[in-house]
A and B are shown apart, each in its own frame.
Chain A
Amino acid sequence: MSIGRTLYRKLVESHTVAVLDAQNVLLFCDLHLMNEYTSPQAFAGLHEKHRDVLVPGQNVATVSHVIPTHPGAHRVIQDPAAALQASNLKRNCTRHGIALFDTNDALQGIEHIIAPEHGMIRPGMVVICGDSHTTTYGALGALGFGIGTSEVEHVLATQTLVYRLAGAMRIRVDGTLPVGTTSKDLILMIIGRIGAQGARGHVVEFCGSAIDALSIEARFTLCNMAVEAGARGALVAPDQAAIDYVLARAPDIADAQRERALAHWATLCSDTDARFHIEHRFDASQVAPHVTWGTSPDQVIPIDGTVPAHGSATAQALRYTGLQAGMSLQGLAVDHVFIGSCTNARIEDLRAVAAVVQGRRVAPGLRAMVVPGSGAVRAQAEAEGIAKILVDAGFEWRLPGCSMCLAMNDDILEPGQRCASTTNRNFEGRQGRGAITHLMSPAMAAAAAIAGHITDVRRMTPGSTE
């Protein structure tokens, strides 16, 4: 009698070209995304060995990390080295016939925003990218994970990877997320509970009524940040919401092909008797807005909690963030608010920000910036009137890119500046040397922008100031 298979195992087995040994398989990759900073050395390696790109049509690239976000009709990358990275990407894509979303493409954006929004991510695919947040695509039942540049070269040359098998973890979340909380708060809580290496070595499958109730965009946020718990991938079995999302963006899947696709996607779930190496359960009704206090995403507390006091890692983190054990984060003044990144720069995120800031003003002396995830998100936000609400409130309304999430462009904080950020990493120096990052949801960041300090968005009444 065969033992049931996990969704993860089904995805790996359906993409295994050859079993190399007990731990490694040659894994076929359906879609390979590239950016301007982790791909150049891969192309150079390919050219040095006189190798070609095996299947160009399964590869796509975008200029995302170094691109400036200042508003303007035509973007020019001022930094010569960064400009060379962008022009080099274009040269490589042109040479090999690879699809590109170039600097001044109206649809340019963060790789993990543009790929799904244009229907490139489909359930059951294996998707890789030289970027750790490729776990995002699990939201659509696709196995996504980040790779290094040597592996980028390997995929270009072979459309496969030598893939080390991961363990299977299941995280079940039942219950209902309270008003004022989001999947960002949920994933921050989970990372806080299981730790920055709690899912290391595993692909996490999220399930349960709370996950079923999440929008697809909320699931992107959830799966995106699973890597901050060390996960090698994150999955949500595709349901009707996922299928509707994909079909609305993939007009090529039509007629008879649509029937075949639906039949295939219906098989993309873990069998009832599938076994997981580790299982966790959480109650969504217990989730409060979460904010990080330290320099690792697992150093996080509910907004009504206090900074903990234990461990040597804690001491160094507190030295860096300038906080003390036992204190509350509420009332902590921030210099900057950043809304953006592959974690939280989609239209639903911007709607959540607009709902909080509508009719209010950004606190005096505070700089608040919104960097939409893509040209399409930016255009939609403008069409919906969201951009006007944000600008009227005093936010800077920027062009798309990774921007201050990792500060590879000129959106960088000064030493000592404290930032309420919708991004994914609060590492030392991530947003600028000596700068302090507090990770939170878009609504919480919006509330901080209005209040001038970290505050509980649940206590803000709609349409009035605190």
Chain B
Amino acid sequence: MADIRNQGRALLRGMPAVEGTIVIALTILLASPRSGPGAEPGPILPPLVAGKCLGCHGDGDASGGITFESLPPDAPIGEQARLLGLAIDAIDSGAMPPDGEPSLDAATRSEAIRWLQHRLGEVAQGIATPSLPLQRLNRFLYNNTVRDLFRLSRDLFPLPEKLLTRYDPYLLALPGPSPRLPEVVHVACHALEPSPGLEGVKPYPKDLRAEHGFDNQADELTLSPLLLDTFLRLAHSIVESPDFTPDTVGIWGEFFAAPAEGSDREAEIRGRLKRFLRIAFRGPVEAETVDRYSAFALSKLAQGLAFPDAMKKTAAAALSSPRFLYRVTATGHEDMPLALASRLSAFLWGSCPDEELLELAERGAILHPDVLDRTVTRMLADPRIERFLDTFPSQWMQLENALAATPDPILARDFHLVPGTPASLQMVLEPLVLFDTVFVEERALTELIAPSSHYQSEFLRSWYQGVQTPPAAEPDRAAHDESLRRHLRSREFRRVPCDDPRFGGIITNAAVASMTSGPKRTHPVARGVWIVDVIFNDPPSPPPADVPPLAEDAADPSLTIREHFAAHREHPSCAGCHTKLDPVGFALENYDITGRWRDGYANGRDVDASGTLFRRHAFDGAVGFKGAIVAEQERFARAFTAHLLRFALGRDLVPADRLVIDGILSRSARQGHAIKALIRGVVQSESFRDFGQSPDADAR
């Protein structure tokens, strides 16, 4: 220990007071837990850190910009948590100790991680969740909220972000002990030509996805003058659209239609607006607001407008209100139930709370875990759950990029056979329907990686297994083309067992292979980035600006891509990330630029797809690689849950969320981390009802 104290002298500086306790630092790593998982306060850590970490991560070197030696005395507690999180990830994944250093034996590793997690838990308690800023509705939420508010029978405007159109109501498969999708489902991707929406209604721009995030992250959802202009224009154009009629608007009779002759018009208007504004503003509305809107409607009538027109103007005014456009999160305990209802409906229905949710929130009943769970059950069985499946899976898997894939028309002739209908329109359906299946049938989460059965179209079957090179001569070529064209139009997806383990699952499919390839060759690094980001929730930092990409024109054509890329791992400033990215990216090298299997390259060399995952699981190709991920299923489930939680909360995760995820995982383990079980876990978690502590909450 003397030696350790010596080496870690700087670690012994005083740390700031936390919750009244003076933490005299041993380091953040070495601090002795007040009550540990075992009796001894982690005796394993001090020699481990001193012996294995400080050599590189001490002040002298601070390799990778990380030092465990000295934190300034006022180091924010968040920085401590960040370092702990990094240490856990690095040790857990086997990235540390690095190559060339003796690795940890399994017992030491798990003991070290146990203590680090415990320490993180202590540190995280001192970190308040940052408060969420006032956020505007994103485009998807706007569309659905307006639809639900008016019970409108169609979308407001084209939604190209909706990649999967389902022609069968299979999401509401018969509930029961083992819900099961039908043998055949009918689906299509209309993202390149989405249905037009209401005439005269122009969409606002698609919200950008936060980097490694979703399009619903609160801090991205700000309002510019340009966007406000668009919102005001939208409000007006929706109710004035020639398509906004008694036929399309479900609430026409109860809201827009003139009341019976002789009724008290003013009272009638007040009553209608009270109900309407309550849904529109996602909560109870004070009398003075109802008064204002009623006065507005009456003034329109006084100007000579017909009753439905006056109500249209009033509805358009409500759609222009900040109380409609902004989602308010809780700023105090009394707002919390409503904020929870709003978060829940945004998460699962991509919309506003319905009357039942509002009622539960107003009574406060929604805070009760049993009521909340019954509510989730109801919401999962409601047709609106389709909105969750229209956003989360495609954004999580970044599948909109599949439609941007433009493989070289000579190398991939079949991809572009029908102008305007690229093969990617079929490809993108495969992982999305699989997600639906795993969701509805409540399969184990690893079925996303290596499914037992899945849905395939005739097009995809022939893409993977059929003729790979179009026949050179007629009439075979014409027959080949005709068959492809016919299959391209088909909406039929049929349940088939996954008997060829090379195919199936969200990793080894044509959509992901195509979108992670350039026009002429595969991009193993892009594939590696996709894997570590999507599958392991561990996105790499962007490449440093001072590194040249591969100079392809000067490349030796006899080398394989792997040989070209060897330079990445030799260059010290690249090795840190590329030792992580390249092996997983190269695991998919047997899939060409459009996801077809290949054993060799055009230059005659064989594909080498071997590698090692987390320094533990050697594999010789994609099948073994998927097996390794299944073997590491806890890690995949953890990553998936982190994505799900970030989507549900609309914010980046903080250290305390890490512990929340632990809890969700342990509760869903029995169900194999089925997606619905994870959703229940997310909704019941502390994070879900934590709206953060505004630094000025009491200043109001």
User: Real complex partners, A and B?
Assistant: no
Residues on A facing B (Cβ under 8 Å): none
